[in-house]
């Protein structure tokens, strides 16, 4: 992160969460726990 900065890291994380959601789409509601875990990790402060 220090080389590219916090804004880059946040944007990258958002992209990874979007990618995870897309990859989990075929599993529908069965993957909700994984989606929520990714969202929680991305939104937590520390």
Domain limits for position 12: 6-43
**Does residue 1 fall inside a structural domain?**
no
Per-residue pLDDT tens listing for the chain (46 residues): 678 999 999 999 999 999 999 999 999 999 999 999 999 999 998 7
**Does residue 19 fall inside a structural domain?**
yes
**Does residue 24 fall inside a structural domain?**
yes
User: What's the domain count of the chain?
Assistant: 1
Tokens of 5: 């900065």
Q: Are 21 and 38 in contact (CB under 8 A)?
A: yes
The pLDDT assigned to 32 comes to 98
**Does residue 23 fall inside a structural domain?**
yes
pTM: 0.82
């Amino acid at each position: 992160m220090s080389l590219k900065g916090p804004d880059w890291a946040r944007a990258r994380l958002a992209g990874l969460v979007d990618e995870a959601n897309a990859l989990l789409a075929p599993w529908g509601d069965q993957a909700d726990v994984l989606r929520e875990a990714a969202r929680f990790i991305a939104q937590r402060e520390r």
